Amino acid sequence: EPHIFGMFCPFCRDSLAQGLLGRFDYSEGVTLTQSCIQYRQTFCSWRLHVPTVKWDYYVPMPNEVQSQHSRKAHYDEVQSFRVFLQTLTGKEITDAMLSDALAVCDENRRLLRELYDYRKEADPNATGVEALYASLTAQFIDKREHNEMLKKTLAALPTRKVERKTGARFMTIGSENDDIAFMGMVESVGATIVIDDQCSGSRYFWNASKPEGDVIKAIAERYCDRPACPTKDYPAHTRFDHVPGSSKD
């Protein structure tokens, strides 16, 4: 509590706690892309109070992604981050390296979409808790390793027998809800979470990058095109169309 407001969400508080407890003492740097002011304070507290942090970098992300200036602004920020990393490591980050990494990430997004499609069945072969585990682990496991595990999972799902009743079919909507225990509780009392619209779920991987000769542009514009976080969904409220559509696509 001396380092972050008590009213901030558990996700922000726990992220800081992990650093203060030394559970990321192997990490020398910390970065953040603009999301919410609460998580910005988590980032600032990490910089100030986690002793292993030797460098930090903040990547501004346009809040008004619908602005005609947002794509150019985010392109410049991603390019600046690339230059910073090259200077920090003393190694060039080539377009070919970035293109290869982007292809791996896009494959991960595609595979996660396939997994989510199994939740649309009358008797889903994957529960909401299992899908959330898949989405969350994608955010910290090496993407190539995660892709291989997803391929094995997807190959096994068609013949999987789930010994449970689907019950009420729920959609969860929110921000960075990674509360496995809560999801498990919901599904333990006669329900199944069959789709979500969350930063920790479908919004993380829903859209892949578009074919583009400039890899920095492809990376930057994918973030501008992704299903909008409520903090960035203005002046038009695109989520009103996306949320019901995501359960059908």
Q: Nearest CA to 135 among 67, 68, 201, 70?
A: 201
Contact predicate 243/173, CB 8 Å: yes
Q: In angstroms, rounded to a whole number, what is the distance separating the alpha carbons of residues 109 and 102?
A: 10
Q: Which residue has the tokens 């501008």?
A: 224
pLDDT number for residue 236: 92
44 CB-side CA count, 13 A: 11
pLDDT number for residue 74: 96
Q: In angstroms, rounded to a whole number, what is the distance separating the alpha carbons of residues 170 and 226?
A: 23
Per-domain residue ranges of the chain: 94-248
Q: Nearest CA to 137 among 69, 100, 129?
A: 129
CATH of 94-248, one of 3.40.50, 3.40.33, 3.30.60, 3.30.160: 3.40.50
For every one of its 249 residues, what pLDDT tens digit does the chain have, with 9 covering 90 and above? Answer: 889 888 888 888 999 999 999 999 999 999 998 888 888 999 999 999 999 999 999 999 998 999 999 999 999 999 999 999 999 999 999 999 999 999 999 999 999 999 999 999 999 989 999 999 999 999 989 999 999 999 999 999 999 988 889 999 999 988 777 788 999 999 999 999 999 998 888 999 999 999 999 999 999 999 999 998 888 889 999 988 888 776 665
Q: Is the alpha carbon torsion for 183, 185, 186, 191 positive or negative?
A: positive
pLDDT number for residue 20: 95
* Range 136-161 burial, b when 16+ CB lie within 10 A, else e: bebeeeebeebbeebeebbeebeeee
pLDDT number for residue 174: 81
pLDDT number for residue 244: 79
CA distances from 32 to 12, 73, 196 (A): 12, 17, 24
Q: In angstroms, rounded to a whole number, what is the distance separating the alpha carbons of residues 220 and 247?
A: 26
Contact predicate 195/116, CB 8 Å: yes
